[in-house]
């Protein structure tokens, strides 16, 4: 079974631009979560989608948004980029929304904002 | 508000010895805890978990201990191997549906051959 894939792997943008990141979960997985990883902050939860509905949201400004499609693929969008948005963005999928289901992470998208 | 804390950013251990990684949490509602391992340029991979109804869980060389009264958990790796060199993240959640996972800041483990 293919793992979680994220595209693109690397991205360079300038302040004020917007960006869209994509995540394809493991086949059959219906839950997708997004995290931001920055040095010293660990993984910060952004949001989780299950069956095309956002089920949970972290403490990020409204510039961060996401969606999930009927095939469980997910995208996250960051508008009006700021320097502080430079980070590794990780996507994780799991079969359902049961907490004890293991989350499988993709390799991440490294976003650099100049 | 960092609800899951890993106070040691790094740890060095000799090959064959025990590695002990520590994690503290502040939210008493957390009842499910996990450890993930992350190599550079890869996403985190699940290592081991423990429910609050237990105080210990083992999986091969990895053992997680939970002290609920102290809100503390630790990961023991015995014996440590060079391939264990990675960043280890502690994570916690409440059980039940739609619960988010809160991660710590990570501890970088280096196992010296």
CA A57, A70, A10: angle at the middle one, nearest 5? Answer: 65
| pLDDT tens digit at each of 113 positions of chain B | 679 999 999 999 999 999 999 999 999 999 999 999 999 889 999 999 999 999 999 999 999 999 999 999 999 999 999 999 999 999 999 877 667 889 999 999 999 99
Contact assignment for A106 to B46 by CB distance below 8 Å: no
Contact assignment for B100 to A56 by CB distance below 8 Å: yes
Q: Which of A48, A107, A108 sits opposite B100 (nearest CB)?
A: A48
A28: distance to nearest CA of chain B, Å? 18
Contact assignment for A44 to B45 by CB distance below 8 Å: no
What residues of chain B lie within 8 A of the CB of A40, using their CB?
A: 105
Q: What local confidence, expressed as pLDDT, does residue B98 receive?
A: 67
The answer to whether A66 and A46 are in contact (CB under 8 A) is: yes
Kindly calculate the radius of gyration of chain B based on its CA atoms and give it in whole angstroms. 13
pLDDT for A99 beyond 90? no
What residues of chain B lie within 8 A of the CB of A102, using their CB?
A: 46
DSSP 8-state class, residue A81:
-
Average pLDDT in the A90-104 region?
A: 86
Q: Which two tokens stand for residue A107?
A: 């390799």
């Amino acid at each position: 079974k293919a793992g979680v894939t994220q595209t693109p792997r690397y991205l360079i943008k300038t302040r004020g631009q917007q960006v869209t990141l994509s995540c394809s979960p493991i086949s059959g997985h219906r839950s997708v979560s997004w995290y931001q990883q920055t040095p010293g902050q660990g993984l910060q939860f952004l949001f989780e989608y299950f069956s095309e509905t956002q089920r949970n949201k972290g403490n990020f400004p409204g510039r961060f948004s996401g969606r999930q499609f009927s095939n469980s693929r997910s995208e996250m969008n960051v508008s009006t980029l700021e320097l502080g948005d430079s980070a590794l963005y990780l996507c994780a999928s799991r079969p359902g929304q049961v907490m004890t289901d293991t989350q499988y992470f993709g390799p991440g998208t490294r976003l650099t904002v100049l | 508000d960092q609800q899951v804390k890993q106070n040691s950013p790094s740890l060095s251990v000799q090959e064959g010895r025990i590695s002990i990684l520590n994690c503290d949490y502040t939210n008493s509602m957390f009842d499910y805890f996990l450890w993930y391992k992350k190599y550079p340029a890869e996403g985190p991979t699940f290592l081991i978990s423990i429910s609050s109804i237990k105080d210990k869980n083992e999986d091969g060389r990895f053992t997680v201990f939970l002290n609920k009264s102290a809100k503390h958990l630790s990961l023991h790796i015995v014996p440590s191997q060079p391939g264990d060199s990675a960043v280890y993240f502690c994570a916690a959640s409440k059980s039940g549906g739609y619960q988010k996972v809160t991660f710590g800041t990570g501890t970088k483990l280096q196992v010296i051959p």
